[in-house]
Structure 1
Amino acid sequence: MKLGFIGTGNMASAIMGGVIKKNIFPAEEIIGADLFAPGRERVKEQFGINVTDSNKEVIEKAEVVILSVKPQFYADVIAEIKDIVKPEQLIITIAPGKTLTWLADQFGKAVKITRTMPNTPAMVGEGMTAACPNEHMTEEEIAYVKTILESFSRVEVVPEKLMDAVTAVSGSSPAYVYMMIEAMADAAVSGGMPRPQAYKFAAQAVLGSAKMVLETGKHPGELKDMVCSPAGTTIEAVRTLEELGFRSSIIEAMKVCEEVSKSM
């Protein structure tokens, strides 16, 4: 097996779908472990991968292993597998707050680890992932891990000191964006628009705006100014958002998120 997963939840599914779609690995070269039988049967049916209820079997068979369980289960999972992890294996983690130092202490030996922070838009191939390799990873191995991650996400290698900020700006931020889309749709419904149509208009506006930031390279403030005509509707909406603390509320929410990530 080339690729293994310990945990077969939503993020694991997003990665499986990406690597299979982009032909990074065929389904028959992927194995996923989950103690929850319906979870592993779901990914077997959806992707055609191999499944097992044994975490150790994944370690024994896979070259690259993604620890895709919830952060609170990391210590127990690592304690179970650490003695059979091979020196050449690549381990990818996706748990917020679990630092490279913490991971090294848990394994108790030299292990090739890349700490990552993906986000849920990976489920539709539009994720954003930060990657932070440890000192045991070679440049070729880092490039290999990036190829895997790029199958479902944009990827940036960042210093570990930025990982908590990454959690706030991309890991958790889809929730803030969904709240904004919901609020925009509520306002449109208040104006008489049917709700399904309101969600479509609001979501597409957010998608298109984000794409303009990424593809034009223009500063978000410049793009905002392009929409704000003198004495027009948009500048009045912007004035009201500023008056109500729109930017400040986002900044404060993200700082709280960052602090919680640091304490995990």
Structure 2
Amino acid sequence: MEGIYGIWLRDITKFFRDKARLFGSFTMPILFLLIFGGGLSGTMESMMGQMTGADGDFNYVEFVFPGIVAMTLLMTSIFSSLSIIEDKDFGYMKEILVSPVSRVSIAIGKMLGAATVACIQGIILFMLIPFLGLTYDFVSLLLVLPFMFLFACALSGLGLLIASVIRSTQGFQMIVQILVMPMIFLSGALFPINNMPAWMHTIVMLNPVTYGVDVMKKIMIDVDSLSPEVVEAMGLNLEIFGRLITIPEQILFIAVFAVVLVLLATVSFRRTNA
């Protein structure tokens, strides 16, 4: 546990000391909020009003904000694993590998450090809520925090797995860019996913980010206050083989996904750094 804590603390300290990284990490989320929230809100709300006949019941910024937070968790969790490759290049990894700390503890410490950094950035985004004119319930924001950490752990495990088999920063960044953007756009984070072609809908349902985004939206948005037409148009009713997926089932899936990814990453980490 001391080894895990030490590695976790190192990543957290590096994050707060790197002011450029701290500032730059919000560029993409804020850009997406400005483009999608500001530029498309009128169009999307008008389209939803025509589709559902319930003008004023759909707030696109309220719909997209949990997706932006989930996108921040995804990008930060995965890109934080880049530090593993950098540690190899600068020799830090060799030093820690010859220490009494086990490789399993190193992998878990890295995963928890990346997940914590991602959650901190997600929580900081909550500060934008008053400026965006949103009215999320404070209790809902508290309830979503444990799931955000679980979700970030799962995504950190994915990043750790990639970093354990890629030996260059350029290769890591290329692979991650190929994975991250489709995972964002095919998750329902930025627009409803209920009118996609059948083959694309299959990819959506295989995307773990889809379930993370859906859980965060259902916790943060007061779904019960919306009409069934609006809920359907927003794509908040995920179904598999005609069966509605519940929030506990989605949380269970993310938890299992996190455990499997961490186990695979740990095994890969032990082999590639033996």
- TM-score of the two chains, using structure 2 as the length reference: 0.26
Flag the structure with larger Rg.
1
* Larger RCO, structures 1/2 (Cα 8 Å, 6+ apart): 2
Q: Normalising by structure 1, what TM-score?
A: 0.27
Normalized per residue, the structure richer in strand is 1
